[in-house]
């Protein structure tokens, strides 16, 4: 697929975001909701076990390229077994069919599966999700939804066309902490928002031990199918300590770096609060990254069109990770005595909101909000709410066509900037093109490896 054809096809397809058919509900309110899980280690295991919290869910299929991971999951003895507080849930895990190749599972299980959860390395997300959507399966897909912007556009169009219920795996979207931040911003407690600052300085636990790609492959463990693990990506030799099971995120071929790990969570909070989606431009303010690995830190700046909740016709958001010092304007509430390595700071006309990652938000400066009555906020469950939405034929909280895919596109523009530092990248969201540096448009699409092509996708 050449670039011109790609732009014409994939970005025209994005019009389907807003022309979806009615969502298909699951079989019957009284029947079990039958789920198959692709990727049952790490966050894939978290998703599988968390969805099983719903009393109507029965797990009927498991797929993983690692036989050891699959065997642990089959026994219900996975590291995330603790997620199953209901003893009956363990029974609904037993007897699930097992597969190594997701394509075989979807094809063979057919109508015995209502929905698919996907928790694999980033590079496989789009191919797996589009395959499931074309089979009319409801989909829960871990973030980042895709590895390339082209995939995000096609995924959104396919999700809209399929008429099923989809959910992006940003579980923080439904936490009481995030919902309280949304309520504070939308209530006007700090007035309209002028700027947003995000920082992430936690230790990177997925950086590989092996960072040089030597030509000679290491022996592939007997439990791992390396060809299936590579999937759509170009073939590279297996290296011990480089990719599997958890170091893939740092490699450009397979992951999206820190933006894919934590950027999606922060963008989700900001978008939920302010209604931001596609930026108009983005730039990398440091040296960025090149070669096969992402950088271990980055400093990015985004400009978004203003919304009714912002103070102007545009708003700036900055992102830093990997050890950059705090912005001097960030005010930390006195109640937080420990370090806050991760967080978001909303600067408003009449005050600010300090939101640590996974913690509740605080209004600052504190003396300005003495006696302020924080709103009572609803409680939600990102996983079981998706199941309920599927069974009722409703849209989930973070559905792919109208929310998840556009948000993923914004995150991936940050990745594009990191890989191409040295000035603004102007983005025309309607056309789906970089306008001032058109040579970058070739980086929006990925060619899939021979034997792994998905029509219209890669």
| 154 within domain boundaries | yes
pLDDT of residue 4: 42
From 398, 427, 448, the end of a domain falls on: 398
The reply to whether 226 and 107 lie within a common domain is no
Q: Where are the beta strands (DSSP E) in 201-350?
A: 281-284, 298-305, 314-321, 342-348
CA distance 245 to 241: 9
| 358 within domain boundaries | yes
The reply to whether 279 and 352 lie within a common domain is yes
The reply to whether 257 and 307 lie within a common domain is yes
CA distance 31 to 35: 13
The residues pairing with 118 across neighbouring beta strands, listed in sequence order, are 38, 141
The reply to whether 265 and 125 lie within a common domain is no
Q: What is the dihedral of CA 201, 203, 208, 210, to 10 degrees?
A: 100
Check whether 82 has a pLDDT greater than 60. no
The reply to whether 182 and 259 lie within a common domain is yes
The reply to whether 445 and 394 lie within a common domain is no
Question: By residue range, what is the domain housing residue 351?
Answer: 171-380+399-457
pLDDT of residue 90: 73
The reply to whether 181 and 255 lie within a common domain is yes
Number of structural domains (the chain) is 2
Which residue in 417, 410, 449 sits closest to 145, CA to CA?
410
The reply to whether 120 and 196 lie within a common domain is no
- Tokens 């789920």 belong to 35
Per-residue tokens: 211: 């960072």
Which residue in 3, 448, 2 sits closest to 234, CA to CA?
448
CA distance 239 to 262: 26
**Whether the Cβ atoms of residue 93 and residue 34 lie closer than 8 Å to each other:** no
The reply to whether 373 and 388 lie within a common domain is no
Check whether 16 has a pLDDT greater than 90. no
**Whether the Cβ atoms of residue 156 and residue 401 lie closer than 8 Å to each other:** yes
| 361 within domain boundaries | yes
Outline where 83-232 has alpha helix (H): 87-91, 102-109, 125-134, 149-162, 176-187, 226-230
The reply to whether 334 and 427 lie within a common domain is yes
Average pLDDT over residues 421-428: 96
Q: Could you tell me the sign of the dihedral formed by the alpha carbons of 147, 148, 153, 158, in that order?
A: negative
Per-residue tokens: 157: 């169009």
| 4 within domain boundaries | no
| 24 within domain boundaries | no
Check whether 302 has a pLDDT greater than 50. yes
CA distance 363 to 338: 18
Instruction: Go through the chain and tell me how many residues it has.
Output: 458
Average pLDDT over residues 23-32: 61
Average pLDDT over residues 63-86: 72
The reply to whether 84 and 186 lie within a common domain is no
pLDDT digits (tens, 9 = 90+) for 325-359: 889 999 999 999 988 999 999 999 999 999 999 99
Check whether 429 has a pLDDT greater than 60. yes
pLDDT of residue 450: 97
**Whether the Cβ atoms of residue 116 and residue 36 lie closer than 8 Å to each other:** yes
pLDDT of residue 31: 86
Mean pLDDT computed over every residue of the chain: 91
For 92, 139, 351, the CA distances from 400, given in Å and listed in that order, are 28, 9, 33
Compute how many other C-beta atoms are within 10 angstroms of the C-beta atom of residue 27. Answer: 12
pLDDT of residue 13: 41
pLDDT digits (tens, 9 = 90+) for 208-265: 999 999 989 999 999 999 999 999 999 999 999 999 999 999 999 999 999 999 999 9
pLDDT of residue 6: 36
CA distance 286 to 417: 10
Which residue in 395, 424, 429 sits closest to 409, CA to CA?
429
Which residue in 84, 32, 19 sits closest to 53, CA to CA?
84
**What is the Cβ-side half-sphere exposure of residue 255, based on CA atoms within 13 angstroms?**
26
**Whether the Cβ atoms of residue 234 and residue 451 lie closer than 8 Å to each other:** no
């Amino acid at each position: 697929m050449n670039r011109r054809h790609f732009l014409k096809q994939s970005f025209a397809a994005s019009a389907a975001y807003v022309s979806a058919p009615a969502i298909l509900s699951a079989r019957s309110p009284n029947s079990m909701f039958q789920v198959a899980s692709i990727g049952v280690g790490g966050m894939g295991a978290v998703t599988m076990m968390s969805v099983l919290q719903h009393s109507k869910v029965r797990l009927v299929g498991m797929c993983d390229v690692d036989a050891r991971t699959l065997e642990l999951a089959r026994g219900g003895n996975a590291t995330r077994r603790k997620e199953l507080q209901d003893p009956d849930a363990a029974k609904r895990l037993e007897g699930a069919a097992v597969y190594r190749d997701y394509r075989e599972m979807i094809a063979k299980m057919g109508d015995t599966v209502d929905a698919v959860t996907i928790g694999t390395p980033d590079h496989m997300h789009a191919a797996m999700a589009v395959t499931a959507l074309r089979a009319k399966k409801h989909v829960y897909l871990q973030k980042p939804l895709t590895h390339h912007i082209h995939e995000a556009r096609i995924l959104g169009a396919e999700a809209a066309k399929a008429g099923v219920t989809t959910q992006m795996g940003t579980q923080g979207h439904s936490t009481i902490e995030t919902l309280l931040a949304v309520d504070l911003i939308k209530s006007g407690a700090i007035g309209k928002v002028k700027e947003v600052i995000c920082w992430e300085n936690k230790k990177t636990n997925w950086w590989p031990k092996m960072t040089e790609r030597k030509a000679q492959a290491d022996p592939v463990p007997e439990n791992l199918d390396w060809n299936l693990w590579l999937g759509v990506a170009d073939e590279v030799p297996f290296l011990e300590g480089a990719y599997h099971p958890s170091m893939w995120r740092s490699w450009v071929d397979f992951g999206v770096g820190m933006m894919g790990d934590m950027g999606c969570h922060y963008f989700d909070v900001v978008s939920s609060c302010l209604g931001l989606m596609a930026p108009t431009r983005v730039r990398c303010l440091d040296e960025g990254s090149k070669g096969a690995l992402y950088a271990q830190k980055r400093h990015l700046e985004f400009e978004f069109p203003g919304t009714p909740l912002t103070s102007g016709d545009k708003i700036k958001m900055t992102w830093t990770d990997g050890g950059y010092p705090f912005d001097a304007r960030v005010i930390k509430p006195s109640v937080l005595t420990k370090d806050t390595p991760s967080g978001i700071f909303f600067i408003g006309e009449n005050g600010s909101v300090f939101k640590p990652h996974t913690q509740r938000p605080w209004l600052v400066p504190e003396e300005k909000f003495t006696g302020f009555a924080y709103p009572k906020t609803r409680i939600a469950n990102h996983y079981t709410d998706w199941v309920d939405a599927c069974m009722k034929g409703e849209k989930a909280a973070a559905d792919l066509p109208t929310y998840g895919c556009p948000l993923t596109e914004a995150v991936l523009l940050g990745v594009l900037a990191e890989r191409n530092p040295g000035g603004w990248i102007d983005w025309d969201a309607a056309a789906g093109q970089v306008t001032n540096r058109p040579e970058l448009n070739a980086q929006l699409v990925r060619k899939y490896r021979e034997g792994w092509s998905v029509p219209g996708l890669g």
